Chain A
């Protein structure tokens, strides 16, 4: 085992237009590596756990920057940093769920350079996978975490399919709750995918966490006006209050009228490979008051059907507790 920390030699492309970036990405296909803020790039490459022939630096593409109001909500350029999202007045006023999630990502230094596209596209943080082991997700044929002795405290309690890694994104669940749309450009044109469909689990594609294929570029995130000024709840429970990934997070958007929850979208992070919509909870609370009684009434509905591993049973009560907090409207 050699310990690396120097960037390998590779080509560097710095396009300033999306179409040029797409052309380069197509040219290199799976040997090209898109980079924005770089927070999930340099570790992989310096560690030699993954490699590429070309680094395609998107930061020069101005059209992928900025937060703009649209006829139906807002559009966030893929290169908008998490700090910009956390501080943006429009987002804070209307879609506070997203700003609350963004400000909890990692650390101020990482938020200053890390982008919204990077936060939702980042790879899983399973420590075995990150060490470069040849696990299922890396193309191999075993999982080191899902074993009787695996060190799997941070891993999945739902929907494992060979791989038991979880989504590390804090903003991903918030975007699912807000019914965000992900704008993807490629050589075949532009397509828009709902945030809920953007993330994929190991049962769909065990080597990827999103629908993005080689040659695809996530260029923007759109948030519809539907949930503007709704009641929101976000909480991330991590070991540390900075520079850490969630043990469990919960994002909730609720349309409350006269104290009654008319509609909600409640999404948990870090419990499976994708943001997990808690549809059974959403259905159970529809038409009920947002209060303590409703919170207590859902019991352990959120964690029902969980399949915990050796070291992560705690995620079940933790998830249930966060759901209760969201429903009663206070900590």
Chain B
């Protein structure tokens, strides 16, 4: 299909600001009379606050107030409280905030506050708390259980309690040693097909243990926020991935009418899943500002961002994989113990889902348990569950394929999801899948046949590794609102409540409206980032779903405004709506294009006609956020507004496949990536440069997950070792290839009006999987059974000194 805008590069309006440094983030906003708030955080991994003596701090000149857990609604575990009191569950957990006239005074005041703690036992290894007799991270237990409860006022968590699951020492020992823990209790289980029967039909069966370490999100923009109150309204500068979808949540945290909140967030410096919805410390900023009746900036340091900024859940597991003689995956049995930190949840179910879609096993069983530990709270991080499973699964599937004598790419093609593919426990359908085609395209880009035939030994100290891996994440939702206004001067304002999380998707999705309107892009203005500018209720931005979801809502808003323009023209020139067309930013009689009007003239007419045309009336089914925005724009132009009610069925899969060639130095454990080729199965490509950026960025992060990034805790005292960026070791420019070859499959998903699906998470998943696969290939099929695989592990392996990892663990080297 030939498009006017879709599939064409364009420059999103915020690019210049990002490049020049002019772009403003939450911390850049100041307000007259603003005070600085800083947090005091816990030095102990577990316990309770007995007493706070802030008298000396409050007596300091320039100190204006203190804010503690008593100033917030009560919060019960395992909800992650903004400020802890009765349940302190990790080092670095915020205890209180103090506000002062300057940042320095606030810091000095913190040093004068004396907090008395009562310590409790703590644990940093999920298997330690899972073991009978082992310490629990909370006094009441070690795992999340579901209930039917509502969230407490001002909190975001509901339906959860802390329960307790324990395994016998024998079961834990078996699990640590890579065997099935027979008879163990799990928090969640599912199964489809007859697993035992399918295994019986398999001719190749492997069993392997695995561990993936967590990674902190370390968003470059920390969670600093600033709030002030004027005329009963709270103006809140914050940093979220999503925008308007978080509005009501934040209003709830502040216990105010949503109509009295204005959330401003033009640019977001990274969230990676940790800023999808409002997070706890935002409650402090807004409430403290109200309490002090002064603007408050709660500034979050780099170290604090580590503590409260979330981290990927590590996982420890066991898997049994069976292949039939046809190469089909007959059965998979997988057990996952997740590290949920002090709050949040593990992603075991999502990990299992990755297996189910990528290899379409005929029968599968998943058993999982998510254990709390006294480490930082865990949350969604780019492909939570799917990507860490992609990492450890790729070399294990390689092993199975090699044992079965099947080429690794052929094996993936045999098992790849097709249009009739299934996913997960319920074996639901897919909106589309061109994964076999994507595998072929990527293999051709990489020149797999030639590369796989190359000798592995390059020199006395260099070996070659060839890897292949796949990534997946659900990439679409529906039911959100689109909003467009055309002004009498003909300017087309494309309003979006999508957050600007740095991917330019907020801009890309508006191209679907421009496409439908067949308008000149130069006449379009993207309105976003500030709710005072009247934004619609838009999707949450997690799970790569923005492109699919919001091209739909942009499209329906465009259809609405086109229909209204035709009705306006019809009122002027007669006929029926079907007699009219659009083109050249005019609406006109198809039979006589001289009878028509420009979009601007239609907008002027809309103001005169009122009613639904100028926003005086609007559909009942749009969200109240969108309703307020329409109300605020009444009479200012032609308003197009609609909720996405287009048909949708099945999961929307974003998928990708990558190939990696490495040269590995057997003396140092270091490696160079000499080729990286990846193809995104992301439906129609909306913005080629945006796709390239997404694939490159995801690829780099995948390399980091495979070989560099870490999450290390000392079990002696609960201290984290990687609170700084350099300690967490994300890859640098010098650790990744100069050129990364990426492409989109560019075949449309039938459930998107422009065929688009998202690709964020799979871009990382395919890269980490391919690099892990390459390590194993370079080292004669050796499985490390964990990520990351660091240089020291490779050196140890080659030296055969027996010092690799010992017991596999999360939260360690």
Contact = CB atoms under 8 A, between A and B. Distances in A.
A1 B91 contact: yes
Contact of A331 (B41, B307, B461, B791): B461
B667 A151 contact: no
B301 A318 contact: no
B715 interface: yes
A48 B112 CA distance: 14
Contact of B721 (A151, A239, A241): A151
Nearest to B796: A314
A9 interface: yes
Nearest to A245: B726
Nearest to B788: A239
Interface stretch (A19-27, A142-150, A183-191): A142-150
B58 to A, nearest CB: 16
Interface stretch (B103-111, B379-387, B429-437, B600-608): B103-111
B670 A237 contact: yes
A127 interface: yes
B304 A317 contact: no
Contact of B715 (A149, A311, A331): A149
B22 interface: no
A5 B106 CA distance: 11
Contact of A1 (B42, B712, B792): B42
Interface residues of A, number: 44
A301 B32 CA distance: 68
A247 B107 contact: no
Contacts of A247: 791-792
Contacts of B791: 237, 239, 247, 314
Interface in A218-242: 235, 237, 239-242
Contacts of B461: 331
Given A313-B796, A331-B461, A5 B813 contact: no
A244 B716 contact: no
A325 B667 contact: yes
B729 A153 contact: no
Interface string B287-303: 00000000000000111
Interface in B16-73: 38-43
A181 interface: no
A131 B303 CA distance: 11
Contact of A2 (B41, B714, B734, B735): B41
A6 B719 contact: no
B593 interface: no
Interface string A155-166: 000000000000
A312 to B, nearest CB: 8
Contact of A241 (B92, B714, B735): B735
A133 B108 CA distance: 20
Interface in B764-813: 790-793, 795-796, 798-799, 801, 803, 812-813
B41 A237 contact: no
A151 B813 contact: yes
A128 B713 CA distance: 11
B801 A313 contact: yes
Contacts of B667: 318, 321-322, 324-325, 331
B111 to A, nearest CB: 7
Nearest to B307: A3
B665 interface: yes
B39 A242 contact: no
Given A150-B716, A318-B795, A237 B668 contact: yes
Interface in A294-322: 308, 311-318, 321-322
B44 to A, nearest CB: 8
B39 A314 contact: no
A4 interface: yes
Contact of A3 (B41, B668, B732): B41
Interface string A261-303: 0000000000000000000000000000000000000000000
A244 B707 CA distance: 14
Interface string B709-749: 00011111101010000110101111100000000000000
Interface string A95-120: 00000000000010000000000000
Contact of B813 (A6, A133, A242, A311): A311
Given A1-B91, A144-B717, A241 B813 contact: no
A151 B301 CA distance: 24
A8 to B, nearest CB: 8
Contact of B714 (A151, A242, A308, A316): A151
Contacts of B91: 1
Contacts of B735: 240-242
Main secondary structure of the interface of A (DSSP, over half): loop
B664 to A, nearest CB: 13
Nearest to B727: A127
Given A3-B303, A127-B721, A149 B714 contact: yes
A52 to B, nearest CB: 16
Contacts of B302: 5
Contact of B301 (A4, A241, A312, A331): A4
Nearest to B715: A149
A144 B717 CA distance: 9
Nearest to A312: B792
B92 A2 contact: no
Contact of A240 (B41, B669, B708, B713): B708
Interface in B634-674: 665, 667-670
Contacts of A241: 670, 732, 734-735
Contacts of A7: 104
Contacts of B792: 153, 247, 311-312, 314-315, 318
Contacts of A239: 708, 729, 790-791
Contacts of B301: 3-5
Interface in B298-316: 301-304, 307
A47 B283 CA distance: 26
B729 A147 contact: no
A247 B795 CA distance: 12
A235 B461 CA distance: 15
A127 to B, nearest CB: 5
A91 B498 CA distance: 55
B92 A6 contact: no
B92 A242 contact: no
B771 to A, nearest CB: 15
Nearest to A321: B667
A314 B805 CA distance: 11
A247 B796 CA distance: 13
A239 B668 CA distance: 10
Contacts of B733: 242
A99 B110 CA distance: 45
Contact of A6 (B39, B107, B727): B107
Contacts of B795: 314, 317-318, 321
Contacts of B708: 239-240
Contacts of B721: 127, 151
A7 B108 CA distance: 11
A237 B461 CA distance: 15
Nearest to A317: B799
Given A150-B714, A317-B796, A4 B107 contact: yes
Top 6 closest pairs, chain A to chain B, by CB: A241-B734, A1-B43, A321-B667, A317-B799, A314-B792, A313-B803
28 contacts: A1-B42, A1-B43, A1-B92, A2-B39, A3-B38, A3-B39, A3-B92, A3-B303, A3-B307, A7-B104, A8-B107, A149-B715, A153-B792, A237-B669, A240-B731, A241-B670, A244-B726, A313-B801, A314-B792, A317-B796, A317-B798, A317-B799, A318-B667, A321-B667, A322-B668, A324-B667, A325-B667, A331-B665
Interface of B: 38-43, 91-92, 103-104, 107-108, 110-111, 301-304, 307, 461, 665, 667-670, 708, 712-717, 719, 721, 726-727, 729, 731-735, 790-793, 795-796, 798-799, 801, 803, 812-813
Given A128-B714, A316-B801, A317-B798, 12 more contacts: A1-B43, A2-B107, A3-B92, A151-B813, A153-B792, A237-B668, A239-B729, A241-B735, A308-B803, A314-B793, A314-B795, A317-B801
